[in-house]
Structure 1
Amino acid sequence: MIIGTAKVYLYADWVHSLKEKRMIVKSIIDKTKHRFNVSIAEVENQDYHKSIVIGIACVTNSSRLANDIIQNVVNYIEGNTEALVENVYTEIL
């Protein structure tokens, strides 16, 4: 069993409230869940309205497939949000 994980750090400069941030995060998570078979959630900085940290995890039988899935999800998030991707940390276990 191979587990692929990633933390995606996003910065949304135009967000002015937690309510606005939560709408953006919910949209990213719902779109990603609909398109990919991964677990995804906001994992850090939930009380800071300009910072978004999303955790992603997948389980598969090969490390190459896990890496491909995580990279596809990260690319999808980058392409479907106006937030700036600051960092992405991936780990294959």
Structure 2
Amino acid sequence: MIIGAAKVYVYASWVHSLKEKRMEVKSIIAKVKHRYNVSIAEIENQDFHQSIVLGIACVSNSTKQSNAIIQNVVNYIEGNTEGFIEKVDIEIL
């Protein structure tokens, strides 16, 4: 069993309140869950309105497949949000 995990740091400069941030995060999470079979949640910086940190995890039977799934999810997030992806930390266990 191979576990792929990632932390995606997104900077959302247009967000001016926690309510706007919550709406954006819920939208991203719903889109990703609908399209990919991964677990995703906001994991850090929940009180900072322009910083979004998402945790993503998947389970597969090969390292190559886990890495491909995580990369596809990151690319999807980058293409479907107005935010700027500052950093992505990927770990394959």
What residue number does 1:36 align with? Answer: 36
1:35: how far off? 0.1
Give the Cα separation in 1 of the matches to 2:26 and 2:63.
29
Question: What is the TM-score when the length of structure 2 is the normalising length?
Answer: 0.99
Aligned length: 93
Unaligned stretches of 5+ residues in structure 2: none
Question: What is the TM-score when the length of structure 1 is the normalising length?
Answer: 0.99
Structure 1 segments of 4+ aligned residues over 2 angstroms from their partners: none
Over aligned residue pairs, what C-alpha RMSD do you find?
Answer: 0.3
What residue number does 1:15 align with? Answer: 15
What residue number does 2:71 align with? Answer: 71
Unaligned stretches of 5+ residues in structure 1: none
Identical residues among aligned pairs (%): 75
